[in-house]
Amino acid sequence: MTNPKMIIDIRDGKKVFGSFTALTDINLSIRQGEILTLLGPSGCGKTTTLRILLGLDKDFSGSFQLPEGGSDRIAAVFQEPVLLPWRTVEQNVRLALPKSLRTKNL
């Protein structure tokens, strides 16, 4: 039996906010078909890691490999409802629609 292909690979990931280091030495490998759950106390970097995986935060260091199609091929369910603060209410609502309907009049 062959190993499923590696689709996400983070090596020596690091995220810094000003003088605060939020993530350091993150190493994560996910193979096709695997499901990942991030557990940990508040403030440990779970949401920051998800934001990097989803392509919402591109300002980090380390090597980072995403599946073909990039972050469009990754889904996440947040514990709390999440809005993108730089978008309008309508733009946030459109994100939940299938891509084919996002440009239609609401």
Q: Of residues 68 and 85, which shows the higher confidence score?
A: 85
Within-domain flag for 52: yes
Whole-number Cα distances in Å, 86 to 33, 90, 91: 33, 12, 9
Structural domain total, the chain:
1
> What span, in angstroms and rounded, lies between the C-alpha atoms of 103 and 106?
9
Among residues of the chain, what percentage have pLDDT more than 90? Answer: 20
In this model, does residue 72 exceed pLDDT 70? no
Owning domain of residue 66: 6-76
DSSP 104: S
**Average pLDDT score over residue span 48-64:** 85
Within-domain flag for 59: yes
Mean of all residue pLDDT scores within the chain: 82
The first and second tokens of residue 33, run together, are 């078909």
Question: In this predicted model, what pLDDT tens digit does every residue of 74-99 receive, in sequence order?
Answer: 677 666 777 788 888 888 888 877 77
Q: Of residues 24 and 96, which shows the higher confidence score?
A: 24
